Amino acid sequence: MADYELGDNRYGKSRIRLVTVRRGPERHHLRDLTVAIALEGDFDAVHTAGDNANLVATDTMKNTVYAFARDRLTSSPEAFGLELARHFAAYPMVDRAIVDISEHGWDRVATPGGEAPDAFVRSGDVTRLARVEAETGGGVEIEAGLDDLTVMKTTKSAFTGFDRDRFTTLPEVDDRLMATRIRATWGYRPELVPSGGAFDFDGAWERAHGQLLRTLAEHFSSSVQASIWIMGTAMMDAEPSIEWVRMVLPNLHHWKVDLAPFGLDNPGEVFVSTTEPHGLIDATVRRRAAG
């Protein structure tokens, strides 16, 4: 009989939906999160012998998120993730606890008298991301990011000089629409971000997000790859605590419509938007190691 062993494995609870309302005397404060917990550790017997003694139930993970939200979700999603990750990493059978958080934005409804204190509309323009990994020995890795940020440049974008062979039909263009849905994640430099969480994660996220948008608007893009480099380095210049930036950008194509059959010209004003198939560019920009 062949010998077998268990390979890499993890388990957890995904898509834990969490909404909190802090009821202040003047206005209410709304938070909307989706949380995922994953654990790695001594779970061999669970798989190979059906012994659940070392198993933390995923329902317990869900309940812990809700219990911690009562008085520990008071600042950034990174700080909340750190609380959860350290809690689960303290279990004797756990080697590593991973917490992923997506925070969904809500804006206050505008009224003639100003912003409503207790009515909100889903903003939906960007999802804030946080990821915390805590190990039993105390090591911590913290990442942040954003997703679903759909952007477009109507000029200052080109694509020329690429390789051509007998299967190439794409024309070169020196002025095109560039549209994408940005997923950007970044890791913090451990020497600048205390593992205890005493760091302005909200401020760092706002600076990175703001610089990303400003650079997108201002730079000339010779390719999506070049844009990742330009935007990623600008984000790290603006926020020295960032060690690396990864961007995953689908190319949301907008093709200029040929209006010649109708006796009309098209000076770059009428386009057809397509989502499939699309190019997908994935790259990481990091600080060069000293020495």
Q: Do 222 and 162 form a contact (C-beta atoms < 8 A)?
A: no
201-218 and 224-238 are packed helices; what angle lies between their axes, rounded to 10 degrees?
140
Query: Where in the chain is CATH 3.10.270.10?
Result: 9-138, 146-291
Q: Which residues are CB-contacts of 59 (< 8 A; sequence separation ≥ 6)?
A: 13
Q: pLDDT averaged over the chain?
A: 94
Task: Summarize the confidence of residues 190-217 as an average pLDDT.
Answer: 88
Cis geometry, peptide bond prior to residue 277 (ω within 30 degrees of 0): yes
| CATH match of 9-138 with 3.10.270.10 | yes
Identify whether the C-beta of residue 219 lies closer than 8 Å to the C-beta of residue 230. Answer: yes
Question: In the predicted model, what is the mean pLDDT of residues 70-93?
Answer: 96
Calculate mean pLDDT across residues 9-19: 98
State the pLDDT confidence band at 246, using cuts at 50, 70 and 90: very high
Q: How far is CA 39 from CA 32, 56, 94, 142, 262, in A?
A: 23, 9, 7, 16, 61
Q: What percent of the chain stands above pLDDT 90?
A: 91
Q: What is the pLDDT of residue 124?
A: 76
CA distance linking residue 185 with residue 149, whole number of Å: 12
SS3 19: strand
290 pLDDT tier (thresholds 50, 70, 90): confident
Task: Provide the sign of the torsion angle of the four alpha carbons 154, 248, 141, 128, taken in this order.
Answer: positive
Residue 138's pLDDT band (boundaries 50, 70, 90)?
A: confident
What are the residue ranges of helices labelled H in 133-200? none
Is 100's pLDDT higher than 80?
A: yes
pLDDT for 1: 47
Mean pLDDT of 252-265: 95
**Residues near 269 by beta carbon (within 8 Å), at least 6 away in sequence:** none
Amino acid letter, residue 215: T
pLDDT, residue 194, reads 64
Task: Calculate what percentage of the chain has a pLDDT beyond 70.
Answer: 98
pLDDT at residue 210 in the model: 97
Per-residue pLDDT at 133 exceeds 90:
yes
Sign of the CA dihedral 134, 211, 284, 169?
A: positive
Both tokens of 273, joined, read: 């938007």
pLDDT of 291 reads 67
- CATH classification of 146-291 is 3.10.270.10, yes or no? yes
Average pLDDT over residues 99-116: 96
* pLDDT greater than 70 at residue 203: yes
Confidence at 197, pLDDT banded by 50, 70, 90: low
Instruction: Give the max Cα distance, the chain.
Output: 77
What pLDDT is attached to residue 282? 98
| 22 has a pLDDT exceeding 90 | yes
Look at residue 165 and tell me whether its pLDDT is greater than 50: yes
| Catalytic positions, written as ranges | 13, 58, 253
Q: Are strands 254-256 and 271-273 parallel, antiparallel or unpaired?
A: antiparallel
pLDDT tens, 25-60?
A: 999 999 999 999 999 999 999 999 999 999 999 999
Q: Is the pLDDT of residue 253 over 60?
A: yes
